[in-house]
Structure 1
Amino acid sequence: VLRDFFDFVLAGFILESIPVLLSIDGYFFEFEEGEEAKNLLVMLESNEMFSS
């Protein structure tokens, strides 16, 4: 249970950091690998639904 909690906190921290990192240069979600970007967007969308 504790491990799940830390995974949740870590995932939340990473997801909070991603938009900041990606928006530094004024662009958002520019990836070389389209599949990876799509998976990340799906993960972000499901996380937003989960946290709200």
Structure 2
Amino acid sequence: MVKKLLHTRYRVQDLEKTVSFYKDVLGLQEIRRHTSGRGSQLVFLKAP
């Protein structure tokens, strides 16, 4: 059984749709967005 999940990374086709799923369905909260030097967009979420 998983007791703690500290960090994961997913590459997705539609970032906004994916973020909406994690927020609206799973109840996570968005805490930060970042664009890397290579142009990748990162979204940091946390459990409430």
* TM-score (norm. length: structure 2): 0.29
Name the structure with the higher strand share.
2
Name the structure with the higher helix share.
1
Quick check: which has more Rg, 1 or 2?
1
Q: Point out which structure has higher relative CO (alpha carbons under 8 A, 6+ apart).
A: 2
